Structure 1
Amino acid sequence: MEDADVIVVGAGPAGLAATVHLQAAGLRVLLLEGSDEVGGRVRTDVVDGFLLDRGFQVLLPAYPELRRLLDPQSLDLRFFSRGVVAQGSDDRWDLDFSARDRETLLSLARFAAKRPLDALAVGALTLRDTTVAPNRIRAAVPTETGRELARWRISRPTIEEVFRPFLAGVFLDPELTTNSKLLHLLWRCFVRGGAAVPADGMRMLPRALAGLVTDDALRLSTTVASVDRGAVRTADSAVPLQARAVVVATDGAAASTLVPGMRAPEWSGVTTWYFAVDEPPLRRPTLLLDGASGSLMNTAVMSEVAPTYAPGGRALVEASVPGDTGAVSAIRSRLGELYRTSTSGWELVAEYRIPHALPRMKSNHVFTSPAKVGTQLYVCGDHRDTSSIQGALVSGRRVAAAVARDLAR
């Protein structure tokens, strides 16, 4: 007799979503997770009262798949400003559209006056992405993100000073080779719903999804050694677990070791530093971009976004660069230039070097890889759809539908 109808391996967003949909279809599911907590790459550490997401992570509440599963407001979201501050080589652009102070409004007007064609081009791109149906965006012929921005007649200086550092933080792709369809899909969600973090850290997203799973389905600290047709062998048992179907919902690298013939994806990495400071160097929840030094750093005072990210009387500053690069001394120095303050007293709380942060999505990336990869064997994850939380959740739903359809037969 089977231990379950379906065994899902991996309790990241994709595995959690798959489990929720499979249970809704009336199937008995066993969800195995090797770590001591759900979430996969979406995790939050607590250090001396500071909330530290593992790598700079944000949530776009307008993700359609997120809204299918949860009410985003149930996560107690705290929002970033609708815009950025971008440090260019010769100027500093305060493009915070949610601000109402005189200085910011003058900066927006100055940008429009100095670069009117760029203002019109970004406006046209935004209008198109927020009004057309997502399936039309997915049906478009893809190109590289950098070429797509140029096709919309956005000037090279604005690409270099604003879009490259912003998108290097989103896609972890300094060369802007990411599939342009992902640019439009994420821009659509960003404009329609902004960016946010849960008050208690990004860990609250997988925890909320896990709350939709029945208690007896989830097994933490259970390492899977191998999978086969309808069987899963764990590291602590010689007797394999049996099921009518097995879903591998790990990241792409782990999936390639479990599923015969599956190629591991190429990865983009990130390095993130967290600093504890006595006074916030910027008193608003705005992303600050470095479009001048070549580091492509993005930084924010996370305690201005969500005061709960820091203990009382302290502030938390995040700084991230794509790849595994940068010494903390150089980062500290550049942060002083960007925030226009001394950083000598800033305390380094943690440094995260994450080589496997996001699967790369080049212009030829296939958005919807098959859910079924063998007899009784299925795969889901952001490497099978788009490199985003939205993509992971969509992939989980797609694989659940495929499993439920096949088992019904």
Structure 2
Amino acid sequence: MPEHAHHADVVIVGAGAAGLSAAHRLTSAGVTTVVLEAAPCVGGRMSTEKVDGFRLDRIGQLLTTSYPELRRTPGLGSLVLRPFAPGILVHSDGRHHRAAERLPARSARGALTTARALASAPLAPLTARTPARTASGTPPRSAPLGTPLDQARLGSALARIAATPVDRLLERPELPAADALSARGLPSRTIEGFLRPLLSALLCDPGLTTSSRCADLALHAFARGRLCLPEGGAEALPEHLAAALPPGVVRTGVRVTSVSTSSVRTAEHGAFTCRAVLLATDARAAAELLPGLRVPPFHEVTVVHHTAPEPPLDGPALLLDADRGGPVAHTAVISQVDPSRAPVGRVLVSSTVLGPPPEESAVRAHLAALYGTPTDRWERLGVHHTREAVPAMPPPHDIRRPVRLLSGLYVCGDHRDTSTVQGALHSGRRAAHAVLTDFGITPSYARETLPTAA
């Protein structure tokens, strides 16, 4: 019989990080693959808006240089990661506190081309600018978090979790992260002043209802690496993945209306026949195509972008609010972290709210307190609210949710592993491995044990 006009061994629905990761594994094994994306561009939630020369991330999830899949995924070898300054800057009681500046020496292994980025952008001290003033008219002071003993305990705790194998972390009792923090053996001021705001930022979970095992994985990644962002915006990561695939594999602007184990029907381009279908969309879109798939709850995120007359903080620091004195959970002078995200000579300040969009006046007042400088001359560039930004991971949470539904039908995404970029890439690799196994193909990485997403 004549071959169908649209045919591939595997049809992947969705061109986010998970689907593109799976496509690389399949094509490298010689499996003909086509990736169908309804949007006009790849990336899914990892998208970046361009406004007057600024690059504004819609969600702005934090990455760490220690994510294993950033090294293992083909196509990411040329991705440049722009690191934040070591440690964290915490605002509490009108002061800036420095914490976790000394990380394990082995933590730098996760960087792809971080060394080059650091060479071109030297780190500045984690202190507020001299002219900055708090609401009371005094500049915020910079000091270590807690006493020297508190610092030593915190450093020891981070070093210990960095050295703990992932499998052992997953054997710990599972509780909501907020409940598990009290068992850390650290002073409450260290927990409230550092661990709670840090985990809220990493997990996009203000209430820390996330599984303590997933929280431990987040701390493990933080302690072993550096917080970072992709150079050029969040979209750079999926764009690198798509550009490294063979021509014609990724097709955007194709809306899928139904799927089966042997075909995919689209609204504009008819049917694609295949040997297997891999759903790599977000959880809700996957459930619409396959009724019965579980849709998890989500954390909503709002990112507010401003440009300021001058940088309100010296250095590429991530600034957390331990007091929770306003809507902003964390903020940074992003143009200090990644100069490519702002025109030359301009300043980009991006602030994350873990919830719905607040009033602009509340955001400005909170940023003025955090940075210790007036914000009335700041210009708002954009507000991006994503109601279903990050899948929630309450206990019990299975970070190895099955990617093989049945022979010929597979699913991947951050809702199948951990709700991180690492989890999305890892689930794509697991799904590709399942497809190749069912096809009777031994992948080139078969001898490598598939690790747990961290």
- Shorter-chain TM-score category? over 0.9
1:147 aligns with 2:179: yes
1:75 is aligned to: 79
1:112 aligns with 2:143: no
Question: In the TM superposition, what is the alpha-carbon distance from 1:52 to its structure 2 partner?
Answer: 0.6
Change (3 A) 1:188 1:331: same
Change (3 A) 1:96 1:154: closer
Distance 1:303 1:158 in 2: 29
1:395 aligns with 2:427: yes
2:11 is aligned to: 7
The 3-state SS of whatever aligns with 2:193 is helix
1:260 is aligned to: 291
Alpha-carbon RMSD across the aligned residues, in angstroms, is: 2.2
Distance 1:379 1:66 in 2: 21
Question: In the TM superposition, what is the alpha-carbon distance from 1:26 to its structure 2 partner?
Answer: 1.4
**Contact 1:278–1:313 (8 Å) recurs in 2:** no
Give the alignment partner of residue 251 of structure 1, picking from 282, 293, 300.
Answer: 282
Give the alignment partner of residue 277 of structure 1, picking from 308, 312, 330.
Answer: 308
The 3-state SS of whatever aligns with 1:298 is strand
The 3-state SS of whatever aligns with 1:216 is coil
**Contact 1:358–1:387 (8 Å) recurs in 2:** yes
**Contact 2:144–2:151 (8 Å) recurs in 1:** no
Distance 1:338 1:57 in 2: 20
Change (3 A) 1:182 1:213: same
Question: In the TM superposition, what is the alpha-carbon distance from 1:70 to its structure 2 partner?
Answer: 4.9
Q: What letter matches 2:187 in structure 1?
A: S
Q: Spell out the pairing of 1:38-49 with structure 2 (5 A cutoff).
A: 38-49=42-53
1:185 aligns with 2:190: no
Higher helix share: 1
TM-score, with length taken from structure 2: 0.84
Q: What letter matches 2:174 in structure 1?
A: P
The 3-state SS of whatever aligns with 1:148 is helix
**Contact 2:126–2:317 (8 Å) recurs in 1:** no
How many equivalent residue pairs? 404
Unaligned 5+ segments in structure 1 are: none
Distance 2:127 2:70 in 1: 36
Question: In the TM superposition, what is the alpha-carbon distance from 1:90 to its structure 2 partner?
Answer: 6.3
Distance 1:317 1:101 in 2: 18
Distance 2:78 2:154 in 1: 32
Question: In the TM superposition, what is the alpha-carbon distance from 1:176 to its structure 2 partner?
Answer: 0.9
The 3-state SS of whatever aligns with 1:111 is coil
1:156 aligns with 2:188: yes
1:319 aligns with 2:319: no
**Contact 2:328–2:367 (8 Å) recurs in 1:** no
- Percent same amino acid among aligned pairs? 38
Q: What letter matches 1:373 in structure 2?
A: L
Change (3 A) 1:127 1:96: closer
The 3-state SS of whatever aligns with 2:374 is coil
Distance 1:311 1:248 in 2: 38
- Structure 1 ranges of 4+ moved more than 6 A: none
TM-score, with length taken from structure 1: 0.93
1:286 is aligned to: 317
1:337 aligns with 2:369: yes
1:307 aligns with 2:339: yes
